[in-house]
Structure 1
Amino acid sequence: MQLLLRDYPRDAWPDHPNFAASIQNWMGAHKMFRQLSEITREETERYLDKDRSPEEFAGRLSYYGDLLVRNLHGHHHWEDLQFFPELRDADNRFDHGLETLESDHLVLDETLNALTEAGNRVIKLIHLDEQQARKEAGALHGSVSRIEQFLKRHLTDEEDLVVPILLHHKLRG
């Protein structure tokens, strides 16, 4: 996965003539996912620390959690069906790396489903049994933390593999 990264190091990407707006937008989506997972974790911590009212937390969790889950599902679905096949066609030396990223997407689906279930449970409990909601929020915090850590690794791996292919083959320009 590191083959082209040596020739196209991360710190040189923005100045590369083939670093197109589409690549910047794709990486911008990754930045948004990192931010949304961080916000969701921090909001859960505020609720657990009683620095956020139950009602306010429920609203913020609904909003940011939904943005995170829906956009991540859509993003990696598009990558698997359209983007990665384009990269395979350009350079099949990276099939194994792309397969690894697609496998990560399967794990991410499971993790996002667990987050959705935990988040929905906490939101329902806030309206039914706030004490139980706080207990369940601990499990939610674990789910959000797992997604945040997973995204830090996965998105960096994805960028380190994909951007050098795009630059090398002048794709997405």
Structure 2
Amino acid sequence: MCILSKLRHAPTFYRMIQTHIQTRQGLPEDMQLLLRDYPRETWPDHPDFTASIQNWMGAHQMFRQLTAITQTDTEKLIDGGIEQYRYTRRLSHFGNLLVRNLHGHHGWEDHSFFPELNRADPRFEHGLDMLEGDHVVLDDVLDRFKRQGNRIVQLEYLDPNAVLEEAKHLHGLTEEIGQFLTRHLSDEEDLAVPILLHHKLRG
């Protein structure tokens, strides 16, 4: 899109910047309607902050931890702080957990959880669509991470001397996943939990 076209459609273009995971700075203001009534610091003491909501957020924390493990392990390999064979074994285990569980989690949200939230409060349909769009972006980077990770694990047997250089490429992908998850998971919680609390869902 040329600059003139961007200016001609400024509200739409600005909206895209606000809502795209690679450019937004937080949950857009118009999606914070319930968050202002149910700020994050009040959630633990709310009577409707049920075990199912806590378990959902616990899964988010697991994704953060798995991403941190793969990123830290890769940095250790590059710096000589972990044996290569141990690194590839851990990458195979934790990388598989990260990709498989994120795909399953996102699929459940798209097909079950988000429609439930939308039925409860259609005012936030655009926000839920935004989060689904995040999943598309994340699926792409997870696919690249999976292919690169599998390549590294195979090279441990086929060409061990090539592992280190390939791990440097993987490190950039772990950083990308970490940045995306930091933004996406925080925004997802800030949108979904107030809806759940306000409408007393998941009780």
Which of the numbers 17, 36, 43 marks the counterpart of 2:47? 17
Structure 2 residue 166 is matched with structure 1 residue 139: no
Q: CA offsets per residue over residues 47-85 of structure 1, 9 Å max, x none?
A: 111111111011100111011000000001000000000
TM-score, reference length from structure 1: 0.98
User: Within 5 Å, which residues of 2 pair with 1:115-154?
Assistant: 115-154=145-184
Structure 2 residue 141 is matched with structure 1 residue 111: yes
Residue 39 of structure 1 and its aligned partner are, at CA, apart by 0.6
Which of the numbers 64, 80, 83 marks the counterpart of 1:50? 80
Separation in 1 of the partners of 2:112 and 2:131? 14
Residue 132 of structure 1 and its aligned partner are, at CA, apart by 1.6
Residue 108 of structure 1 and its aligned partner are, at CA, apart by 0.8
Identity over the aligned pairs, expressed in percent?
Answer: 62
Point out where structure 1 has 5 or more consecutive residues left out of the alignment: none
Separation in 2 of the partners of 1:13 and 1:149? 24
Which of the numbers 184, 189, 195 marks the counterpart of 1:159? 189
Separation in 2 of the partners of 1:128 and 1:117? 16
Q: In angstroms, what is the RMSD of aligned CA positions?
A: 0.7
Deviates more, 1:125-134 or 1:97-106: 125-134
Tell me which residue corresponds to 1:171: 201
Q: Which amino acid aligns with 1:10?
A: R
User: Within 5 Å, which residues of 2 pair with 1:73-92?
Assistant: 73-92=103-122
Tell me which residue corresponds to 2:62: 32
Runs of 4+ aligned residues of structure 1 deviating over 3 Å after TM superposition are none
Tell me which residue corresponds to 2:123: 93
Residue 18 of structure 1 and its aligned partner are, at CA, apart by 0.8
Tell me which residue corresponds to 1:8: 38
Separation in 2 of the partners of 1:124 and 1:9? 47
| Corresponding residue pairs, total | 173
Point out where structure 2 has 5 or more consecutive residues left out of the alignment: 1-30
Highest Rg: 1 or 2?
2
Residue 131 of structure 1 and its aligned partner are, at CA, apart by 2.5
Separation in 2 of the partners of 1:31 and 1:17? 22
Equivalent position SS for 2:49? coil
